[in-house]
Amino acid sequence: MVDAAVCIDAFHFAADLPRAAAEAFRILREGGRLVLTDWQSRTPGDDRLSPMRRDLNWAGLLREAGFADVVVDARPEWHVTFTRVYRTALEAGVGRDVEL
């Protein structure tokens, strides 16, 4: 049992999200804390996203696993920063085969 667990931008890769959430709850001591980072669509039900991402409700998923005090904190300013990073990477050719 642990007092706290942290998962950075990876929890959504679990093959079975409810099972992963239940396991996170199981490993925590009573009163333990789980901190996740991830993203959610700014437009619920956005058809451009996969069904798993489109319908993901972090608060509901975690509550169903047993977590009581679930807080989802949006950080819109992070979107601006990440968008700038991704655009810079694309302009630099990151992700494409480049002849050196």
Report if residue 50 sits inside a domain. yes
pLDDT, tens only, 30-39: 999 999 988 7
- Is a pLDDT exceeding 70 seen at residue 80? yes
Report if residue 54 sits inside a domain. yes
CA distance to 6, 18, 57, per residue, from 28 (Å): 11, 16, 21
Compute how many other C-beta atoms are within 10 angstroms of the C-beta atom of residue 59: 11
Report if residue 29 sits inside a domain. yes
Report if residue 13 sits inside a domain. yes
Report if residue 46 sits inside a domain. yes
Beta-bridged to residue 28, according to DSSP, are 2
The total number of structural domains that make up the chain = 1
- Is a pLDDT exceeding 70 seen at residue 81? yes
Report if residue 83 sits inside a domain. no
10 Å CB burial of residue 21 (0-12, 13-18, 19+) is buried
Q: Is the separation of the CB atoms in 20 and 11 below 8 Å?
A: yes
Report if residue 97 sits inside a domain. no
pLDDT, tens only, 61-70: 999 999 999 9
